[in-house]
């Protein structure tokens, strides 16, 4: 029995579908895996030994590479993960060999407003509860590795305060002389905890550490997560882990995890996490889950390793980038593809009539409150006006030289006239357009979508980066701001200006990638500005150094690396059946 998504919650649909799941052994057989390449975590979740798989299949040609991105979302999201799962299921219905590659959800949004990003309706990744609640422990490993660096840093600072150089030397240590006001790193946890954005640590006596200002960020924004996203193998990860800059000394020289003698132990936490996770859609297609979300404050991509594995195992790899094309796709384009050396065949831009209305003048939806009634009524004018945002993202994809496919992620409240308006405007802009009803009908509802993607993948493209690595950092930021966001220019706070000059003078930083931090709710830095804003300047308030991951991180506007929890979060509706252990309410 398949449940009707108009009458049942996502978790109920997932639970019913889980009664028919393939075991990981059946999935492994379908993928042609050898027994030792599959590392089971129970019956329905497994790790994949990426080294064994890539070594065995090194001479096999890669499959087609499809990225799923979106327009600027409403605060409720646009169903990008749902579309990715729908496309995998649609390609499966067309008898294509396909693997999805998506990101592991963070506990922050899972317990907050947005949900677990498993998809929705009849296009989901399952089993839902393990997927949503920790999976195989990758994010836990990231938290432990990251926080171990902070333990090493703070304990070292305490000992340097309490011991002379001679006493330090007897303990095999040299004085690093870390400046307490130049500590770049903070702590991480996998929840949205706004009260931890700014904290004071070390209160008490001399044995309680140095008193100083510190901070928490959400775990998936950690540089360790970024390293997991871009590392090619364990050797590459170990080298990157040692380059993480934790702060600066009193002579303004960087202090790294290698200087703290902690990089090896940090990597030890991450050895198993390097192996991607194997799950499935509710229709039984394999899905590789690896790395994390939040492209607004992190790289927000499924990992390079996951994509390399998926491209060897199937004829099509459907991967996913976070939020809109201005953020997630831009990082896929200029960071992930640069690190991996992979070239995409097609990019999907997901759009909903709901979001187009929001960009066209409808009231902005508020998370936790009922959708405004205007969204349930036909308004072609709002849809047409909102298409200015969609057309902007189409042009961004075309600037990368990639074939764009617009997926209209259908809601059963959409009208024919609204859908026709989107088709007309997008086709005039040179994009393929497909209406997809995967949420309501699963793979059968995504056949038009799958066909459009197959056609786009058969056409040649002219993939190219937005900037060369020799381009100065200030010019790169300007290019992203003007060419991708539509800004007139860039401004800097005095602090950011000082860091910019230092970074442009540092030969080690000149050729690193650029990973922007910016709100996902607008093309600009201001989340209230919808559509395609004109006549504005992008304000850069800070620039962080992720030397291990291999990029610098300009921070635009007021966005924080630690999101906040809303007044009506999802955890209020999540509970457990104490007789069966069944978790209900996760979505």
Active-site choice (11, 323, 333, 536): 323
Q: Do residues 23 and 127 lie in contact, with contact meaning Cβ atoms separated by under 8 Å?
A: no
Instruction: Give yes or no: 295 in active site.
Output: yes
**Per the residue annotation, which of 439, 449, 551, 587 is the catalytic one?**
439
Q: Identify the active-site residue in 64, 96, 114, 530.
A: 114
**Catalytic entry in 80, 312, 530, 547:** 80
| Distance in angstroms (rounded) separating the CA atoms of residues 243 and 246 | 9
- Angle between helical axes of 380-399 and 353-360 (0-180°, round to 10): 100
Alpha-carbon gap, residue 459 to 341, rounded angstroms: 20
- Is 69 considered catalytic here? no
List Cβ neighbours of 477 (8 Å cut-off, separation of 6 or more): 490, 514, 516, 538, 540, 554
Q: What 3-state DSSP class applies to 261?
A: coil
With 0-12 / 13-18 / 19 or more C-beta atoms within 10 angstroms meaning exposed / middle / buried, residue 308 is: buried
47, 64, 103, 336: the catalytic one is 103
* Strands ordered across the beta sheet of 513-514: 489-492, 537-546, 551-556, 513-514
Residue corresponding to tokens 């060897």: 312
Q: State the Cα–Cα distance between residues 123 and 86, nearest whole angstrom.
A: 5
**Among 295, 347, 431, 570, which one carries the catalytic annotation?**
295
- Name the phi and psi angles at 274, rounded to 5: -65, -25
Distance CA 289, CA 148 (A): 25
Residue of 69, 82, 256, 267 with catalytic role = 82
536 tagged catalytic = no
**Chain Cα centroid distance, residue 31:** 25
Q: Is 492 helix (H, G, I), strand (E, B) or coil?
A: strand
336 catalytic? Reply is: no
Catalytic residue among 9, 175, 338, 411: 411
Question: How many helices, marked H, and strands, marked E, lie in the chain?
Answer: 21, 25
Tallying the residues shown for the chain, one arrives at 587
Catalytic residue status for 323: yes
- Nearest CA-CA partner of 556 in 465, 459, 491, 472: 491
Q: Are 313 and 125 in contact (CB under 8 A)?
A: no
To the query of whether residue 215 is one of the catalytic residues in this protein, the response is no
Nearest-5° angle of CA 425, CA 429, CA 434? 65
Q: What span, in angstroms and rounded, lies between the C-alpha atoms of 425 and 441?
A: 26
Q: Is 439 a catalytic residue?
A: yes
Asked about 551 being catalytic, the answer comes back as no
User: Which residues are identified as catalytic?
Assistant: 80, 82, 103, 114, 295, 323, 411, 439
């Amino acid at each position: 029995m398949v449940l009707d998504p108009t009458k049942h919650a996502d978790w109920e649909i997932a639970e019913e579908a889980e009664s028919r799941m393939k075991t990981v052994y059946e999935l492994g057989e379908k993928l042609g895996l050898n027994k030792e390449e599959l590392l089971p975590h129970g019956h329905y979740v497994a790790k994949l030994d990426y080294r064994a798989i890539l070594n065995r299949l090194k001479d096999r040609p890669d499959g087609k590479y499809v990225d799923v991105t979106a327009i600027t979302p409403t605060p409720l999201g646009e169903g990008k993960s749902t579309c990715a799962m729908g496309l995998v299921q649609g390609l499966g219905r067309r008898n294509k060999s396909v693997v999805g590659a998506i990101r592991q959800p963070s506990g922050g949004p899972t317990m907050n407003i947005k949900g677990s990003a498993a998809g929705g309706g009849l296009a989901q990744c399952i089993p839902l509860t393990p997927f949503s609640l920790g999976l195989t422990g990758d994010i836990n490993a990231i938290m432990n590795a990251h926080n171990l660096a902070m333990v090493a840093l703070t304990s070292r600072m305490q000992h340097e305060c309490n011991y002379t150089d001679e006493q330090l030397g007897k303990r095999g240590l040299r004085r690093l002389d870390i400046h307490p006001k130049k500590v770049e790193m903070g702590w991480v946890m996998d929840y949205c905890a706004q009260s931890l954005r700014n904290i004071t640590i070390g209160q008490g006596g001399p044995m309680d550490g140095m008193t100083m200002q510190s901070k928490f960020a959400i775990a998936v924004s950690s540089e360790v997560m970024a390293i997991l996203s871009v590392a090619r193998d364990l050797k590459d990860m170990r080298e990157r882990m040692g380059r993480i800059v934790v702060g600066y000394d009193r002579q303004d020289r960087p202090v790294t995890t290698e200087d703290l003698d902690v990089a090896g132990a940090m990597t030890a936490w991450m050895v198993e996490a390097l192996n991607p996770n194997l799950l499935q859609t509710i229709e039984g297609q394999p899905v590789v889950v690896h790395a994390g979300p939040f492209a607004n404050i992190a790289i927000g991509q499924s990992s390079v390793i996951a994509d390399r594995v998926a491209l060897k195992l199937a004829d099509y790899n459907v991967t996913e980038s976070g939020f809109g094309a201005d953020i997630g796709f831009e990082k896929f384009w200029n960071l992930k593809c640069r690190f991996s050396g992979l070239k995409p065949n097609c990019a999907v831009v997901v759009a909903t009539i709901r979001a187009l209305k929001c960009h066209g003048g409808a009231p902005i939806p508020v998370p936790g409150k009922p959708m405004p009634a205007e969204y349930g009524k036909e308004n072609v004018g709002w849809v047409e006006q909102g298409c200015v945002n969609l057309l902007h993202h189409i042009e961004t994809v075309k600037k990368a030289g990639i074939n764009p496919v617009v997926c209209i992620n259908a809601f059963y409240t959409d009208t024919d006239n609204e859908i026709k308006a989107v088709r007309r405007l997008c086709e005039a802009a040179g994009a393929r357009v497909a209406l997809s009803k995967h949420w309501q009908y699963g793979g059968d509802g995504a056949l038009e979508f799958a066909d459009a993607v197959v056609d786009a993948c058969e056409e040649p493209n002219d993939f190219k980066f937005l900037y060369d690595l020799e381009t100065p950092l200030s010019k790169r930021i300007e290019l992203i701001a003007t060419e991708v966001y539509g800004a007139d220019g860039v401004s800097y706070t005095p602090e950011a200006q000082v860091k910019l000059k230092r970074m442009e003078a540092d030969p080690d930083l000149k050729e690193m990638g650029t990973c922007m931090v910016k709100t996902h709710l607008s093309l600009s830095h201001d989340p209230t500005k919808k559509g395609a804003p004109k006549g504005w300047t992008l304000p850069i308030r800070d620039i962080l150094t992720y030397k291990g991951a291999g990029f610098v991180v300009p921070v635009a506007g007021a966005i924080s690396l630690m999101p906040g929890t809303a007044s009506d979060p999802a955890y209020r509706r999540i509970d457990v059946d104490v007789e069966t252990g069944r978790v209900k309410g996760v979505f």
